[in-house]
Each structure stands twice: as structure tokens, then as C-alpha cells.
Chain A
Amino acid sequence: RRSYARLLLGLLLLRFGGCLEAADHGGRAEEGGGVFPVVVSTWPFREAVRAAWEVVSASGAAGSAVDAVVAGCSACEVLRCDGTVGPGGSPDENGETTLDALIMDGTTMEIGAVAAMRYIKDGIKAAKLVMDHTEHTLLVGEKATSFAISMGLAGPADLSSPESIEKWTIWRQNHCQPNFWKNVVPAGNCGPYHPIDVPSGESKASVKHVLKRTQGEICQGLFEHDNFLEPVNPHLKSINRHNHD
């Protein structure tokens, strides 16, 4: 009887423990202690990990952890991993591709980063130039571009690709849906957009009321097209494996 109760208890613990694992948002622990060097990367970007591994595991004069990270991330920029890294992907509303990148040295706590950088293909190399040659942490936009070129990186270059332009063209033909706008008109179409100053949480009816009051009759005719105010799934962002940060 006692062993039966113990067996039952064991089964319950196994079953409940499994649920906890699944319910805990996928926490998953792996061993792997004490086997340096080690390279870890988001996603199955095997070539990037191999590129970093080659640098950090080289016999004799192995590269530093920083050099290995730059090599691995640069490999993904060249390979355009998943279309979410490097030039030629993720066009903005104007069809342009811009790059964000960061490098951090866990020994010195130094960081170099670039954001919304235009016309330069080497994102993480530019970030490392910020870390190595300035006291700053983050440079952005066209000023980051000028800095990178002044430090010897190739550019300016067009970061679009036939695929990114085609993606952008189809999106525009689909009334620029989905998009990242809210509380603007026209919500269901391409811009230019105009703000609706409505306190958050108001209903669509009050939005119409605001528009009539502020825009007058001109907006009357627009309400026939219900998508004038109705964005496609306003809260359903299209974040997925091939569209994310």
C-alpha cells in the first residue's frame, strides 16, 4: 500500500512538474558548465556561431571574446540571417533599410552602438568603432553614417535589395497594412497621417465626433469607407520569426 502511494505521489510530481515547466514560459535549463570557450546566439544561426567559434577557439593566438562576437554578428550581416539581419531586409515605410547594432565588453563594461544607421552595411563593425574610438556609447542616423565612413568603413551604399523593395511595394498596394500607427487618420490606409487628439480608451464614435468638430464636413464623405478609421487588427502586431528585433 505504501509503495503504491509513493508511486502515485511520484507520478503526480512528474505530471505537475511538467506543467510548471510548460507554464513557465519555456524556461529550459541546460548544463554545460566549465567548457570554455563558449558561443551562444539567438536563433539557429549556425554559420554565425561557427564564425565566432573559429576566432575564439583558434589555437595559439586565439581572438578575444569581443573579436569573436564581431566576427559572428558580421557573418550574419553578410548572410542576411532570416532577412532580419544586415542590408536588404525589413524596409521602413519609405522602403529604406537601416541598421541597429551593439557590442559590449564584459570586462571593461564599455559599449559601442549604432541605431537607425543609413547607407552602411557593416552594423556591428560600426558599433565597435564607436567603442574603440569615442568615449560615447550610441551614435544614430546619418551622423552615425558619417562617423563610420570617416573611420574607414565602406559607404555610402544602398541597403535595399530587390526582395525588400518588392516586399515594400506589395505592402503599399495593401493600403500600408499592417503598420505601427495609432490614433491617426487615415488609419486603414497609407499616410500622410494626421493625429486624432482623443484621450486613450475613447470609442470610435467619439473619434468621429472629434473629426466632425475639428475637420468639419470634409470628413463626412470619408466615413463611407469604414476602413478610414479601422486599421487592420490594430493590436495584432506582425512580430514573427522573420519580422522582429
Chain B
Amino acid sequence: TISMAVIDKMGHVSVGTSTNGATFKVPGRVGDAPIPGSSAYADDEVGACGATGDGDIMMRFLPCYQVIESMRQGMEPRNAAMDAILRIARKYPDFVGAVFAINKKGVHAGACHGWTFQYSLRNSSMQDVEVITVAP
């Protein structure tokens, strides 16, 4: 699954997701990618979030909505990302998932559980895409 966030020059924020979901799923099963607030969420006033992992579990906690609301309350992206992951891990210690968070100032962070996560980034101070690795 790709979950992407873009902040343009005017500070407008957008997010998007696309996936073909879990392999060997029961026909009709939908993952968390198209569920608002789970795999992606954005608000110009705050920033954006993207997530990936076991959608059957993650959609029950809406991690990206949580990240945005935590940052709206003043939490830094790193703490907002970890808080959202920890809320799920506390109920499902075996779950596999990850989030990235970026606030409207462009400060970004990632958090994960059950696997090593990577996210890609490009801003106007970089010559090309950079990949950041986040270990569980």
C-alpha cells in the first residue's frame, strides 16, 4: 500500500492511498486504505498522516485521525505517531503496522510496530528522494 501526503507551496495539504489489499482475503474484504482517518488524513490547519499495515486491525483505531488530532493539541509529529501506534499495540501486541506524521511546518516522523518501516521524502532542500528507516 502507498499512502502519500503532499504539502504544496501555499501550504495546502492533501493525502491519498492506493492498494490491492491483503493476499488471499475473503472476497469482498476491504482494507483500511479507503477508510477516512485510518490509512490517511489531512487538515491544512495541522498537517498530514499516512499509515500502512494490517488493515483489519488498524481501521478499528483510525490511527491517522488520531495523529492529526494529537498534533492539533500541540503534540510533535514523533510523539503523535508513537502514541497512535502504541494505542493499537496495547490492545493487539502482535499487530503489524506503521504511520508517518508531518505537521504544517514540514516537521516529519515515523513510528512502527511488528516490522521495520521505511518512508520516502522529498522537499525543496533535497536534490532527490530520501528514504528514512524506522525500526520497531
Q: Give residues in A with beta carbon < 8 Å to B.
A: 22, 24-46, 48-50, 52-53, 56-57, 62-66, 68-70, 72-74, 76-77, 81, 83-94, 96-107, 109, 111, 113-116, 123-124, 127, 137-138, 140-141, 159, 167-168, 171, 176, 178-181, 235, 237-241, 243-245
Contacts and interface: CB of A to CB of B under 8 A. Distances in A.
8 contacts: A22-B135, A38-B123, A65-B12, A73-B4, A74-B18, A97-B20, A98-B21, A104-B16
B43 to A, nearest CB: 5
Interface of chain B, main secondary structure? mixed
Contacts of A96: 27
B43 A106 contact: yes
Nearest to B13: A106
A233 to B, nearest CB: 11
B73 interface: no
A32 B123 contact: yes
Interface residues of B, number: 92
A47 B26 CA distance: 31
Interface of B: 1-9, 11-36, 39-44, 48, 50-56, 58, 76-79, 81-82, 85-86, 89, 94, 96, 98, 100, 102, 105-125, 128-129, 131-132, 134-136
